[in-house]
Amino acid sequence: MAQLSDDCFAFGGPMMSVDEAVGLIAARVGKVAEIETVALAEADGRILAHDVAAPLPLPPFTNSAVDGYAIASRDLPKGEDEAFPVLGRVQAGASPDDAIKSRHAVRIFTGAPMPAGADTVFMQEDVRLEDGKVVLPAGLKPGANVRPAGEDIPLGHAALKAGQRLRPQDVALIAAFGLTHVVVVRRIRVAVFSTGNELVSPGEARGAPQLFDSNRFMLIAMLRRLGCDVSDLGIFRDETASLAKALKQVAGSHDLLLTTGGVSTGEEDHVKAAVESAGSLVLWRIAIKPGRPVAMGIIGGTPFIGLPGNPVASFVTFVHVVRPTILALSGARQEKLTPMPVRAAFSYRKKIARREYVRVTLRKGADGAVEAIKFPREGAGLLSSLADTDGLAELSEDVTQVSPGETIGFLSWASLTN
């Protein structure tokens, strides 16, 4: 387990910006030490523990990029078409029988190794056959339509770096090297729970003043998309002593404790007192909307994060606090979120020095440009605003007003949950 000091998240400012929060996490959260070897088919989404150096060049041999006819570039036609006898045929997966002969061509197919001495290929569409010979046009450059060995990746090159979160294309690259297993950081173990007497789990009997717990399942789904091993602790009731006891019990077997709700300053918000009893708490207020109240602390060396209870605020703060923490714990590179520029189709006012996220749906405007339409209702408790939109418009700290026609940044749900 990654063991953190009690003042790991200490910060002197009254309100932390989003970038400061991510920077603090990246700098002060140490990664877990344990690694494991997994089969290549199970590697997608895992964090690479060591560099992967190319054990062979890609491609491993010089081959034809097209179906056509191979010749030596010294024999290229200079001023007019020339006819060449065809001697030999090389298919993909076969080896050439002999080196190419001067003033001769070899029939060759895509992916087939080049005969010794041949270094140029004419596409079959550009030639014609006459009297058993192939007529080649003038003007082709030496080396055309040939893929040299190592053209893609040379032997020994560090093709993948430690800390990289493996994607399907990375898995394909490892497979192309002939490797069957890869060394990765073990999955980050996260304990998730909700707090509140007003909550019941789906499937349980719900009293008239109670709500079904939705945040916990949203967070579990987001954690699993990040490759975490999740323990669902259910719902903790609003009682400080029992909550503190439970936190102490699970801290030693997990890398992160995550909860939603009860982190504000009301009389019935017991998470703050429970964490202070079980460990230490640094209340983090982030200059973000929705989601300002976020609690962070340390319990027995294990980081604790408490997210707001409203689902939209919980989602947004997960992206900007929990996600960077998971990446830091796993030794992964912090993946900067890059908004896509779109055109605003709404008006909006906001406070300066605070980053805001507005739920929007995309549409194509009359001129073909992509426009963002604001969800018609406000409120961080509206689950429909997450389910019925395409993503978030990101309004930076220096923006105070958005007018229709202005360019704004858009983050899709897919970019925020993968």
More confident: 141 or 336: 141
**How many domains in the chain?**
4
pLDDT at 264: 55
Q: What is the pLDDT of residues 221-269, one digit of tens each?
A: 999 999 999 999 999 888 888 889 889 999 999 999 999 876 555 545 6
Distance, CA of 237 to CA of 254 (rounded, Å): 21
In a shared domain, residues 47 and 73: no
What CATH number has the domain bearing residue 392? 2.40.340.10
In terms of Cβ atoms closer than 10 Å to its own Cβ (0-12, 13-18, 19+), residue 194 is: buried
Residues 211 and 319 in one domain: yes
Tell me what the mean pLDDT of segment 267-292 comes to: 81
Residue 208, domain CATH: 3.40.980.10
Residues 6+ apart with CB under 8 A from 402: 344, 346, 347, 348, 349, 350, 393, 395, 408
Examine residue 279 and state whether it is found in any structural domain, yes or no.
Answer: yes
What pLDDT does 10 receive? 66
Supply the pLDDT for residue 7: 67
Q: What is the DSSP string of 264-331?
A: SSSTT--HHHHHHHHSEEEEEEBSEES--EEEEEEETTEEEEEE-SSHHHHHHHIIIIIHHHHHHHTT
3 state DSSP class of 212: strand
Tell me what pLDDT residue 51 has. 97
Interval 389-407 mean pLDDT? 97
Whether residues 200 and 303 fall in one domain: yes
pLDDT at residue 243, rounded to an integer: 87
Per-residue pLDDT tens digits for 19-57: 888 888 888 888 999 999 999 999 999 999 999 999 999
169 and 192 in a single domain? The answer is no
Please state whether the peptide bond connecting residue 308 to the residue before it is cis, i.e. omega within 30 degrees of 0.
no
* Residues 399 and 353 placed together within one structural domain of the fold: yes
